[in-house]
Every structure is written in C-alpha cells, then in structure tokens.
Structure 1
Amino acid sequence: MSLFSAIMTKIFGAASAAQPGAAAVPPMAGASPGAVDVEAVLTALAAQKGGGGNWKVSIVDLLKLLDLDSSLSARKALATELNVHAGADGTAEQNIALSRAVWQQLAQNGGQVPASLRD
C-alpha cells in the first residue's frame, strides 16, 4: 500500500468509524461516495491524542498524528508518489510542498479540505 493510500485509509476510516454508513475510502479516481471533513477528523484525532503538533502545515506531524512512518525515506517515497519536486529531500521547502500536495490529493479524492490548506 502506498503511503498516500495509508493516509487516506486512516482519515476516511476514522470518519467512517465516527459516522456509521460512510464509505471507508473513496475511490482514487473520480467520484466519491460522500465528502469527509478532513480537518474535523484530524482535529478530533489530535484532541484524542492530546495535541498532534502542527499537522496543518507539517507533513511530519501529520504522519505522526496518523501513526504512519514520518522518516525521511518515507517522505521521499511520498514525494515521488505525489510527484513533488520542491527543494532538496527533507528540507522545509519540500516538506511544505509535500504537505500541500497531500491536502490537494485528499480534496481530489472526496475530502473536504479548506482552501487555506491546499494553497
């Protein structure tokens, strides 16, 4: 499973658990079975965990919040998967671009993501 698929599974799965009857993971290409408020899901998860760091802008904090591998090698693989080529591996520039790419992909795959996180 790709890292982005794992991100989607964690977020959309958490939404499904909170809302019985919702689809666990929408299809990757095209129509989604219903929008998931990604920010609300992650805010609730962060509250359960007592924080969550700066997950809105930090790809490392987002991955940690979701209990996923946040290592440099994992982020490099995610950058390749999402076709992100900004800055050198592991730099703030790349991590910010990677975070934005994740938010954009979540929005394209059925997530309600505020424009402020996608831009």
Structure 2
Amino acid sequence: MSIFKDILNKLLGRAKPAATTSGTPTGTPAPAGSAPTPSGASPASAGGTAPAGSAGQATAKPAPLSGVDVESIMDNLVKESGQTLNWRTSIVDTMKALGIDSSLEHRKELARELHYSGDMNDSAAMNIWLHKRLMQELAANGGKLPADLS
C-alpha cells in the first residue's frame, strides 16, 4: 500500500461515525431503482444483468475524506501521543501523529508518490514541499482543513 493511501486510511479510521453513517438504517426499504428479488428466485436469476449505469457509479464516488475533519483528528492524535508534535507545519510530526514511519526513506517514498521533482537529498526543502503538498492532497480528497493549510 502506498504511504499516501496509508495516511488516508488512518484518517478515515479516526473519522467520526456520523460522517459515514448517512446510509439507510437496517430494515429500511431498498432505495428506488433497486428491484426486489421475486419470491423463490435467486438474485442471479431475478434480473440476469446488473442495472444500467452501475458501472458508472465508481466514478461518481465522493472523495475518500469527504467531510472528514482532518484538523480535529490530527489535534486529537497529537494529544493522545503525549508528544510535542506540530502537525500543522511538519511532515515528520504529521506522520508521527498518524503512527506512520517518518524516516527519511519513507518521506522520500511519499515524495515520489506525490511527484516531487526537487532534490531529494535536500531533506529540508523536500519536507517543506511534502507537508504543503500533503495538506493540498488531503483537501483535494475532501478533507476539511483550515484555509491556511489547504
């Protein structure tokens, strides 16, 4: 798994259930457009094929972090860590708060994933770029961040 996807998964794992429980409760009728299976018929024999348009639904998915309050999650992770971490300015601290290996090797891998074109041997410049780019990517994926970070 990529480091960026690991970051997304860590944030999603900490998201408040209210942000993800907008589906229908158990026992609620199926949404309009989904045909019930006739009595005695198996789902495969009831319709024969998938409804038209179901293949296009993959492209209509909401952003992975849609509505996730990244700022709140990160602040809570820092508190729970018991460390003095500044996730708002440091890629190393951001990764540490998320429980992700923040070694130079892993930061270089994340830089490759996010298409860093600078000198990877200049770790200070790379770290600044990485933090800014990560915040932009989180916002682009639907995460809620303060305006000064996205």
Describe the SS at the equivalent of 1:97.
Answer: helix
Aligned to 1:54: 86
Aligned match of 1:104: 136
User: How far apart, CA to CA, are the structure 1 residues paired with 2:81 and 2:97?
Assistant: 8
Q: State the TM-score, normalized to the length of structure 1.
A: 0.81
Q: What is the aligned partner in structure 2 of residue 3 from structure 1?
A: 3
Distance across 1 between alignment mates of 2:112 and 2:87: 21
Q: What TM-score, normalized by structure 2, do the two folds share?
A: 0.66
Conservation of the 8 A alpha-carbon contact between 1:36 and 1:111: yes
Unpaired stretches in structure 1, ≥5 consecutive residues = none
How many residues end up aligned between the 2 structures? 112
1:95 aligns with 127
- Measured after TM superposition, the shift of residue 86 of structure 1 is 3.3
Return the alpha-carbon distance in structure 2 between the equivalents of residues 37 and 97 of structure 1: 22
> Between Structure 1 and Structure 2, whose CA radius of gyration is higher?
2
Identity %: 41
2:103 is matched with 71
Question: Following the alignment from structure 2 to structure 1, what is the Cα–Cα distance between the partners of residues 89 and 13?
Answer: 22
CA RMSD across the alignment: 2.3
Deviation at 1:114, TM superposition (A): 1.7
More helix by share: 1
1:21 Cα deviation (Å)?
A: 6.0
Q: Secondary structure at the match of 1:84?
A: coil
